[in-house]
Chains A and B, each alone.
Chain A
Amino acid sequence: MTYLSVQNLSVRIKGGGPLLRSVSLDVAAGHVHGLVGESGAGKSMIGRAILGILPKAVEVVSGAILLDGVDLLALPPAQRRVRVGASCALIPQDPLTALNPSRRIGRQMTDRLVDILGWTRGDAEARALALLAEVQITDPARVLRQYPHELSGGMRQRILIASAFAAEPKLIVADEPTTALDVTVQKQILKLIAGMQVRHGTALLFVTHDLGVVSKVCQSLSVLYAGKVVETAEVRAFFAAPQHPYSAALLAATPKYTDPDAGLHPVPDAVIAAVRAEVGHD
């Protein structure tokens, strides 16, 4: 059952060049789909378009974003906002800037459950406590009363993950959720997200530049270059035999920590030239 279907989505800078070129991708309910590509390939832009948080200078040219069969781009802004707020969530990249510094954690986790989804304050607080316990935060009651600056980066990312699952969304966009974290924390957070996803049965669009992460967390993936999807595949098939030359080169470029003598294999210039010509990027 496809839950999210992005169809021929094109996005550009207002009065400028294209950022996404006719992107299509499907995420089935309860599945984890990876979105990989280099910096600037447009990975995050897809997530932003789905959630309706494109920068002001960016506009959708054409395409459709079907969420449970309803085209978000055809909805009036207020309806779209409420629909997305109720059924989707974002796990942001940088936990240090994604929490409001002047508000307590408790309010930041519960306010929207009360304001937007109409829960009672008591229900929302109970839910926040349970979720903080689920993301292995000790003494959740105390954390709810704390301010972001009193907590470590890893703690804050756990809180943001808990918060993303709070309203049992059908789809979560995880935008490079481990990139800003310390290497030792990255692995725990990854495991946590994967575990939560399985327990809650949420569909997950996992944006990352790390193919290693994709192989651990995702079931399928799309490879993006210069705003165009060059390959979509099941994870198992992709890592066995990538079909597109650029994907193959990207996979080969992933450093292998098990073999320190292997050296680095950057994507060859010829492959880059070929893929550029293919997507029409100059």
Chain B
Amino acid sequence: MALLRTILLRLVTTAVTLLGVAVIVFVVIRVVPGNPIAMMLPPGATGEDIARLTALYGLDKSILQQFLIWGAGVLQGDFGTSITARQPVLAMVLARLPATLELSTFALLMAVLAGGAAALTGTRLRETKVEGGIDIAGGMALSVPDFLWGLVLILLFGVLVPVFHISGRVTPSLDLPFITNFYLFESLVRLRLDLTLDLVSHMFLPALSLAIPLAAIIAQLLKQSLKETMHLDYVTLARTQGYSEASVIWREALPNAVLPTLTLVGVQFTFLIGGTVIIERVFSYEGLGNMAIDAVINRDLPLIQGIVILFAVLFTGVNLVVDLMYATLNPRLRHG
């Protein structure tokens, strides 16, 4: 019951958030200089041509009128037509979404595994040189932004020791049997591990660039909470029962220490999704972020709106999932 109410309440606030996002984006991209019509017409177009084309896309109406027309369409599932590609925005965006979802989920997985392992190792070997090393590595990882990591990794593993692909999502010459755009997932389901390998080899470096800063944050926060938990009485009690230090950390400390980290990972994951915009550009990865940059360059207003709304849905969705996970993992929140 409580869970249902939480979800309902969340849906209402989400609707309000999305409306706010829609209004802001809609107004901002119409107020900033540059317009799509100027981009489309060749130099020397007459004023008449410009006026005709402007009217064709409805851009001669007031912003409020445009918003109402667009909003009415959205409510019926029609996000308009891309000005540059002349295709329905919704279909274009949904076609690219899987690429970005796979990239960011892969990056999240890497960050959680690497950060978690570092935190557990650092706790097991606390107050030793190893913990110091982990702290220093974490500090370095955090002080460089993700896109710079991208460039560093391209130089290291794409140029100096070329072990990974540094461009695109998949080798273009490959024959893809996929029916969805979740290539990685589908290659696993179909057991086409040769394709999985090719996809991962493309995805590895961009995902790693996104994962490095997040892994450092997870390592630091989780290690801190673990170390605080290690002083508590139930941990001491488990020690007297014959459990080794490693199993005490894993069994007693981790389930409690993971809660504050989980909240933070949720927030940071939304930043990571935001980070894909630049990382996809750096690695020419055919995802939403790359499309977003092209859309902005071309002033493709309907496409920009569609992408931003989708990102907003993604962010609120992630937050909802985190809240639900938190409630599941923390028995004190489960009842009442």
Task: Tell me the bound Cα distance from A94 to B237 in angstroms.
Answer: 11
A113 nearest in chain B by CB position: B241
Task: Tell me the bound Cα distance from A97 to B232 in angstroms.
Answer: 7
For B, the interface residue count at a CB cutoff of 8 angstroms equals 23
A63 touches B (CB below 8 Å): no
A81 nearest in chain B by CB position: B242
Q: From residue B223, how far is it (CB to closest CB) to chain A in Å?
A: 16
A143 touches B (CB below 8 Å): no
Q: Interface 1/0s, chain A 74-115, versus B by CB < 8 A?
A: 000010011011101110111001111111000010011001
Name the contact of A98 in the complex, choosing from B233, B329, B330 (C-beta under 8 A).
B233
Neighbouring B residues of A99 by C-beta, 8 Å:
234
A53 touches B (CB below 8 Å): yes
Neighbouring A residues of B240 by C-beta, 8 Å:
51-53, 84-85, 88-90
Task: Tell me the bound Cα distance from A92 to B241 in angstroms.
Answer: 13
Neighbouring A residues of B244 by C-beta, 8 Å:
78, 81
B175 touches A (CB below 8 Å): no
A149 touches B (CB below 8 Å): yes
B65 touches A (CB below 8 Å): no
Q: From residue B2, how far is it (CB to closest CB) to chain A in Å?
A: 16
Q: Which of B312-336 contact A (CB under 8 A)?
A: 329-332, 335
Main secondary structure on chain B at its contact with chain A? helix
A53-B242 contact in complex given A100-B255, A102-B256, A149-B332, C-beta closer than 8 Å: no
Q: Which of A152-194 contact B (CB under 8 A)?
A: 160
Q: B233 to A116, Cβ gap below 8 A?
A: no
Q: B242 to A112, Cβ gap below 8 A?
A: yes
Chain A residues near B (Cβ < 8 Å): 51-53, 56, 78, 81-82, 84-86, 88-90, 92-94, 97-103, 108, 111-112, 115-117, 147, 149-150, 160
Chain B residues near A (Cβ < 8 Å): 127, 232-234, 236-244, 247, 251-252, 255-256, 329-332, 335
Q: A103 to B241, Cβ gap below 8 A?
A: no
Q: B234 to A98, Cβ gap below 8 A?
A: yes
Q: A102 to B242, Cβ gap below 8 A?
A: no
Task: Tell me the bound Cα distance from A129 to B330 in angstroms.
Answer: 25
Q: From residue B169, how far is it (CB to closest CB) to chain A in Å?
A: 40
Neighbouring B residues of A102 by C-beta, 8 Å:
255-256, 329-331
- Which of B237, B255, B256 counts the most chain A CB atoms within 10 A? B237
Q: B243 to A147, Cβ gap below 8 A?
A: no
Task: Tell me the bound Cα distance from A56 to B243 in angstroms.
Answer: 17
Neighbouring A residues of B233 by C-beta, 8 Å:
92-94, 97-98
Name the contact of A100 in the complex, choosing from B247, B256, B329 (C-beta under 8 A).
B256
